[in-house]
Structures are given as structure tokens and as C-alpha cells.
Structure 1
């Protein structure tokens, strides 16, 4: 499977690496199996294995074996750890930040990022996104969404705009024009990290 070059952080070797670093550098106290990283990022197993091996060889990540599982984590002793973490948080941070924000929120059936940020994740060239547009499919109170948007905006240091849509409208064969546009362009599933559409 071909990996797309990163449009969010051009010096990162691929979009897959950006997504992997967002999970690991974004959670420096956590250890991840390779299969868990694949589930969280939407990156295929062989690509996860190859890129994690490169990152371990470069001492950006550390690994250890536990039985048959290879566990990896961020290496906070790397000389560039702090600036790398800051840059990756600013570019690839929306997925893990929003996943954590919506963890356990009743009524959020799907959470998608769309708009310019998703377009960059989808490989489209363009200017750096100045906000993050989020679509929540389900029945979450607007007050809850507003609180999540405020907290996520603070964490990401860019405005996070959340729109809500019903499951019926999202699944409709002929969705409303706004949802038709969202589905026709790249959008990112916050829970799986997978890029769709476009």
C-alpha cells in the first residue's frame, strides 16, 4: 500500500509517520502495541512495522518485547523530543485530542474531521489549516459540543468548530447538501484515524 506524503508537516516522511507520532508523542507515558497503533491511526500493519522500526532506529521511539508483543513508546530523552512533540501536536494532534474529548460522550455515534485539515490529511496540497472543522453524527447536546470545542481549541491552539448532524441525515441516500459536500471531500474518522472520501 502506497503511503501519502505529509502535507501537514512536509519534513515528516509520510502521513502515516505523522499519525503514528501523534499517538506516541501525544501520550508519552503510554506504551502501544503495533496492532493498537494500526487501529488508532488507520495505517496498515506492514507500514506501522516499517515506520516504527525506522523511528526506533532513530531513537525517536523506544521499544521492548513483552511475550510476542512489541511495545513502543515515545523517547523523552531524544534531544528534539520537545520541539517534535510541539510540531506534531500542532499538525497531527486533532485526531488524538478529539478522540480523547469524545471518549464516553453519550450520543456521539461518529466523529469526523472535514474541511481543510482533512484535505491536507487526504494528501491535497494547500495552505496550512487555520481551524479544525468537526462533524458529530448523533444526538449530543449543543452545550456539550460547545464545551468540547472550547477545550479542544485551547489544547490545539486553533479554533475547533463542531457541527452536529442526525444519523438519519448522514445515512440518507440523498443527504442534505452540506453533508453531501462533506462526504464528497476527504474526511477523517476521529475514532480510527482513517481518511475517507475525496
Structure 2
């Protein structure tokens, strides 16, 4: 009982998080990194029947590319969580028959079980909800001039747990110098794959890091952002 009282006191005092979801000490863009999309106080509102945000991200990485085998280390790198969490959640999905796994040397490889009776339904639902991150990562990774990529707006808000109507489009921010016509082509291709409209805005790295940002950037910094790509991320 004492441990529970200590935990409640810690939460009430704001240590380790805050009721508003803001992270103490991370308000300044020069003092904080983008807060991890998996460290949050509220569950994602994109697919309420998926047991956790991590599971949704794992399903998006696997069900969307059924012929691809991924190691647990690669899955953890892509979705930004520890190997322990990946191992636990993959084990549950394998036990449920949603994923297949096999051992290859020291690596455990997993892939979608396309023979599952609900595979098609699960793939379509996950693609419409968690699918934007892996799709955009694949389409923008390696594109000249792309530095950082984030999803913002209503999709990011639902992913971060804010209640509201299901988003009817996906707003993407590219930090870099890629020509806008190239980004428009990527947006069109992503929209076709995801099944909803994709809008890509571009800002320069200097503007994104400016201590006196434009109203647009200032607003983005205050609202949920979901990381897709980041140039300085250690993979």
C-alpha cells in the first residue's frame, strides 16, 4: 500500500509527467527532443481496440508488407521502443497467430501471417490508422534535401491520445530543402497507399530551429508531433 501511495504522490507532484501531458524541462525547442510517441499518459484514439500504441505500430510495420521479414532489433529501431517491449509484444502477436516467427542464427525474424482468417481486415484497418508512419518513412527516406519529418494536426493528436473525430487527412511537416513539386508527388503516392489525403508542408532547418519562430512553427511546437524521420537519430 505504501508503494501505491508513493506512486500517487509522485503523479500528483508532477514528477515523471504531468496531467496536461507536457514534459517538465522540455518546453524549449533547444532543450527538448520531440517527446517519444510511445511515452504518453493517454492511449491512442486511432484504433481503440488495439491494446497499445506499440502494438499498433508493430502491426503497421508487419501487416503492411507481408513478404518482408524483420528482426526484433529492426522493429525496435523503426518504432522507437526497447528490445524488451518488442520481444514481449511480438510474443503475444505470435501466440495469437497474427505473426509468424523463426530463428535465423542469433536473430528472431517475424512476418505477417497472411493465412490468418482476419489478415485482410486487420491489414486494412491498421493501414488506415497506423499506416502513415511506415508509408511516409519508406517514401521519404533517402529523398534529397529531407532532414526531419513529422506528422502533425488531427492525426498526430489522435495518435497522442487526444479525443476527437477520426482524421480525414494526414498533415506532414518536412524540415529540409526538397523541391515542393517532389514533395507533392510523394504526398500523392502516400495518399494512394494510405487511402486518405496527405498534405506535406516544408520549412527550412533554420526556420525550424529559430528561437523566434513564425506563428505556424510556434503552433506546431505546442501541439503533438509524431516522428517519421530524423536526421540526427541514432539508429
- Structure 1 position 25 matched with structure 2 position 63: yes
Three-state SS of the structure 2 residue aligned to 1:111 is strand
Residue number among 126, 132, 138 corresponding to 1:88 in the alignment? 126
2:177–2:204 Cα contact (<8 Å) kept: yes
Aligned to 1:189: 227
Deviation by residue 1:50-95 (Cα, 9 ceiling, x = unmatched): 1100000000001111122111111001110000000000001100
Residue number among 144, 151, 157 corresponding to 1:119 in the alignment? 157
> 2: distance between equivalents of 1:125 and 1:45?
30
- Structure 1 runs (4+) deviating above 4 angstroms are 1-4
Aligned to 2:136: 98
- Identify if the C-alpha distance between structure 1 residues 64 and 42 changes in structure 2 by more than 3 Å, giving closer, same or farther: same
Residue number among 94, 101, 105 corresponding to 1:63 in the alignment? 101
CA RMSD after TM alignment: 1.5
Q: TM-score, normalised by structure 2?
A: 0.78
2:43–2:160 Cα contact (<8 Å) kept: no
1:40–1:191 Cα contact (<8 Å) kept: no
Structure 1: give runs of 5+ residues left out of the alignment.
Answer: 193-198
Deviation at 1:103, TM superposition (A): 2.3
Three-state SS of the structure 2 residue aligned to 1:190 is strand
Q: TM-score, normalised by structure 1?
A: 0.92
Aligned length: 192
Structure 2: give runs of 5+ residues left out of the alignment.
Answer: 1-37, 231-235
Aligned to 2:22: none
> 1: distance between equivalents of 2:229 and 2:206?
20
Aligned to 2:217: 179
> 2: distance between equivalents of 1:191 and 1:65?
29
Aligned to 2:81: 43
